[in-house]
Amino acid sequence: MRDRLGQDAYENYVARSIKKLALLNRKPVRVDPGMYRTWFEAAR
């Protein structure tokens, strides 16, 4: 059971990473200075 939980967590991590990488394929958007907000995501 413990190994399965580890495998599930790993597969979820990979799936989330793939979704994040897909964002890199999007066309860049030009944003005027001061017209945006930023946020930080914790690195794992």
Between these two residues, 37 and 3, which has the higher pLDDT value? 37
Query: Does the pTM exceed 0.75?
Result: no
pLDDT, tens digit, 9 for 90 and up, residues 8-41: 999 999 999 999 999 889 998 888 888 888 888 8
pLDDT for res 3: 76
pLDDT for res 31: 85
Q: How far apart, in whole angstroms, are the C-alpha atoms of residue 37 and residue 44? A: 23
Q: How far apart, in whole angstroms, are the C-alpha atoms of residue 44 and residue 1? A: 24
pLDDT for res 2: 63
